[in-house]
Amino acid sequence: MHMDSKNIFDVSGKTIIITGAAGMLGTEYAKGLSEKGANVVLADLDFKKCKEISLELGKKYANKTLPINLDLTKILSIKNMVKKVVKKYGKIDVLINNAAYQGDDKLRTIPFEKLPLKSWNKAIDVNLTGIFLCCQEIGKIMLKQKNGVIINISSTYGIVAPDQRIYGKSSQNSAIFYAATKSAVLNLTRYLAAYWQGKGIRVNTLSPGGVERNQEAGFRKKYANKTMLGRMAKKDEYVGPIIFLASDASSYMTGSNLIVDGGWTAW
């Protein structure tokens, strides 16, 4: 059957869950997908922010958003989210596992030798176990539907090591627990894509590079010099890749990692 190229990126009417929806990129994904007519579920520990985003989107678009208070470290919280979403929409088309624990500024500058175990464990709980549990619970729904898309968010630092020369003592550095969990996400994606092959569920990863957000000018310059495009990403530049992965435009893609990093990892 010939694909209609006019509607190839269509996500209208799709029910899309975004974890970490209150964060900078989560908010951008929610805006972009809502503009395209998707019904977006805004799931985050910061429930207040989710409600604010939901109100803002409700004024602009006719499609329905649903703010949800989600704690990824608690299975009951995840089950409760699934129940609410299915009750409201009757289906779950796309899950975007975007939430991640990165630690605060202090944790990103602590020497590896002194990093507290509780920070490592928290990152495992949120960045890895949280995704595992979401895929498990939402996968059950997608299996019944015989249809679904899961997008796991990794990072360039799931692929390569942070170049310590550009960070120095700046709090922009990536802690080891972030890099280790984001690398694990890549194979979790491949495993699930293989496990659910033939069941109508596609699983892919998006690996973004660094986003410009008023960092110190010296750091921005050093980072930009490591990319082929000579700059950091703008916060809305990952919306296109998310729409691609959520829509039929990526219908022949599963078990893959889409790297969008300005060329950072290509040389």
Cα 50 to Cα 42: distance, rounded to the nearest angstrom: 6
Q: DSSP secondary structure string, 93-160?
A: -EEEE-------TTTTTS-GGG--HHHHHHHIIIIIIHHHHHHHHHHHHHHHHT-EEEEEE--GGGTS
Cα 219 to Cα 150: distance, rounded to the nearest angstrom: 34
DSSP strand pairing (94-97 vs 148-153): parallel
Token pair 């190229």 is at which residue?
5
Cα 127 to Cα 154: distance, rounded to the nearest angstrom: 9
Cα 55 to Cα 49: distance, rounded to the nearest angstrom: 10
98 closest CA partner among 29, 39, 148: 29
For the chain, the first-to-last Cα distance in angstroms comes to 39
- CB-count exposure of residue 25 (10 Å: 0-12, 13-18, 19+): buried
Buried b (16+ CB within 10 A) or exposed e, 203-220: bbbbbbbbbeeebeeebb
List phi, psi (to 5°) of 69.
-80, 110
- Residues identified as active-site: 178
